[in-house]
Structure 1
Amino acid sequence: MTPCATELAGEGVLLLPAKALYWPRQRLLAVADIHFGKAASFRALGVPVPRGTTAENLAALDRLLAEHDVAHLVFLGDFLHARAARAGATLAALARWRARHPALRLTLVRGNHDLHAGDPPTSLAIAMEDEPYTLGPFSFCHHPGLDAPGYVLAGHVHPVFQLAAGRDALRLPCFLANARRAILPAFGAFTGGHAQLPAAGEKLFLVAGDMVLAHTNFTAGR
C-alpha cells in the first residue's frame, strides 16, 4: 500500500488507499461514512443485496490497525445506516470486533444517518460527539460545509472522480482538499459515490488500487 503524504493545517497526514486519513502525531485514524448495517437495512425492505459488508468493513479496519500505530479512531459520521441496521448479527459482529480492540479509543461524530439510526450501543464504548469535534488544528465533522473553529475533516459527500480515456470511463474514490477543509471518501463497502470536480484552489487525491495519487493532469469524464 502506498499512501500519499501531505500537509493539512500545518500537520503532516497520510491519505491512505483504504480511504482513510492517518494523523501520525496523534496516532489518530479518521474514517468517514462506514454505514454499518446498510445492506441489512436494504434486505429488511425486501431488496436483495449481498451479505458480508459488515465483516468486510471490520476486516478493513483491522488491516489499518495492523499497518499503523493507532490509539484513537474517529468516525466522521454515519456509523449505523438506519434503525434497521441494528440487526442482531450486525451488532454482534461489532461487539466481537470491539472485544478484540479494548484499548482503542473510539469517537463518533454524529452525522445525518446517526440522527435517524440512534447512537450505537453503549457496550461498544464509543464517545459520542456533535460536530464540530475539535482536536488540535482540526475540526472533525460529518458535513464539509460546517462553520467550525479548525480545519475541517469531513465526509458525507462520498466523493468519486470519473476518469475518461476515449470511450472508457472509470470512477475512483477521492479525497478533496482546499485551504479550509478536506473531504474523505466513503469508507464503507456498500456506500456508492457521487462524482466531483475539484474547484479552483482545490486538490484532488485519487484512490487507485493500492495507492493514492495526487491530482496532476487527469481528464474528467462527462
Structure 2
Amino acid sequence: MSDPFLWRWKQERLCFLPERALWREEGSILMVADLHLGKAECFQAHGIPLPSDGDAGTLNRLLALCHRWRPNRLVILGDLIHSRLGMTNKLRDVLKVLPELIHAEVDWIGGNHDRRSWLEGLPQQAAQPMGGLWLSHEPETPPPDTDQPLLNICGHIHPMGRIHGGCDHLRLPCFAYEPDNERLIIPAFGELTGGHDCDHRYRQWLVADDTIVPWLSPTPPKRAKASA
C-alpha cells in the first residue's frame, strides 16, 4: 500500500494520497477532483479517435481507493464529467449506483465542465464549508462573513511540478499550496487529463512512483539589469 503524507493546516489534518486524492481524517472524508469522465467520447463526437478505456481506468482506481480507505463520504470537487457529449447510458448507469458501490455518501460540487449535465440521484452542489475548509471546484475566496479563516480546497488547475536536471526535465502531478491565499489545489484524478505548471508562489508535493515527495521549487530567475 502506498504511504500518505500527513499535512496540517490549523486544526485540520489532511493526508495527501499518491492516488491523487485528499483524505480528511475528521469525518473520514475522501476528496477527488477533475475526473473528466466521458472525455474520449466527447473527442470521438468531434472526429478525434481516442480509445474509450479511460473511464474504466479512472472509475476502477476510484473504487479501489474507496475500498481501501472506506470513507463515510466522497466529495467530488468538480469536473466529474468532461461534457454532455460524453454522457453515455453506460456511464450514467455506473454513476447512478456509485454511492452503493463505495458504500458512502457522494457529494458532487459542480465544475465548469459539469454545467448543463444532470445525473439521476446525484445533484450538483455549490461551493461549501466543511469545518475549517472551503470546498470549491475553481479557486475561490471564502465568504468574508465566516467565523474563522478557511482553507480553500479546490481542483480545476490540474497542478504539475517540474523537475530540472541539466538538459532534462520531468513534469509530475502535485498538490500545490498557495500561502498568500490560503489555498490547496489537488491534482486531477482522471486518466485523460493534462496539467499546468505551478510557479514559485506554490509549495509543492509531487506524486511520483506511489509516493508523495515534498518539493522546493527553485526561486524565479532574477531579471537582468538593463545596460546603460
- The alpha carbon displacement at 1:94 in A equals 2.9
Equivalences, count: 212
The answer on whether the counterparts of 1:176 and 1:205 sit within 8 Å (CA) in structure 2 is yes
- Aligned residue for 1:25, secondary structure, equals coil
**Partner AA of 1:109 in structure 2:** I
TM-score, with structure 1 as normaliser: 0.88
- Aligned residue for 2:26, secondary structure, equals helix
- Aligned residue for 2:70, secondary structure, equals coil
**Partner AA of 1:138 in structure 2:** L
2:131 pairs, out of 115, 122, 136, with 136
1:93 corresponds to which residue?
A: 94
Alpha-carbon separation, structure 2, partners of 1:62 and 1:219:
39
1:75-114 correspondence to structure 2 within 5 Å? 75-95=76-96, 97-101=98-102, 103-114=103-114
1:157 corresponds to which residue?
A: 157
Deviations 1:166-206 (A, max 9, x none): 2221110011113411001111110111111231xx42110
The answer on whether the counterparts of 1:53 and 1:189 sit within 8 Å (CA) in structure 2 is yes
Deviations 1:11-61 (A, max 9, x none): 111100111100011100010111111111111111011221111111111
Alpha-carbon separation, structure 1, partners of 2:101 and 2:69:
16
1:58-207 correspondence to structure 2 within 5 Å? 58-95=59-96, 97-101=98-102, 103-116=103-116, 118-119=117-118, 121-122=119-120, 125-131=121-127, 133-148=128-143, 149=146, 150-179=150-179, 180-199=182-201, 202-207=202-207
Root mean square deviation of aligned Cα:
2.0
The answer on whether the counterparts of 1:9 and 1:138 sit within 8 Å (CA) in structure 2 is no
The answer on whether the counterparts of 1:54 and 1:93 sit within 8 Å (CA) in structure 2 is no
Alpha-carbon separation, structure 2, partners of 1:60 and 1:73:
14
Alpha-carbon separation, structure 2, partners of 1:96 and 1:127:
13
Alpha-carbon separation, structure 2, partners of 1:31 and 1:52:
20
**Residues 83-92 or 72-81, more deviating:** 83-92
Gap runs ≥5 in structure 2: 221-228
2:226 corresponds to which residue?
A: none
- Aligned residue for 1:186, secondary structure, equals coil
- The alpha carbon displacement at 1:99 in A equals 4.1
Deviations 1:118-156 (A, max 9, x none): 23x22xx3353112x111111110111344442110001
- Aligned residue for 2:6, secondary structure, equals strand
The answer on whether the counterparts of 2:162 and 2:170 sit within 8 Å (CA) in structure 1 is yes
1:211 paired with 2:223, answer no
**Residues 70-79 or 145-154, more deviating:** 145-154
Gap runs ≥5 in structure 1: none
Deviations 1:77-96 (A, max 9, x none): 11111110211232233345
Bigger-Rg structure (1/2): 2
Compared with structure 1, are the counterparts of its residues 62 and 218 closer, same or farther at alpha carbon in structure 2 (3 Å cutoff)?
farther
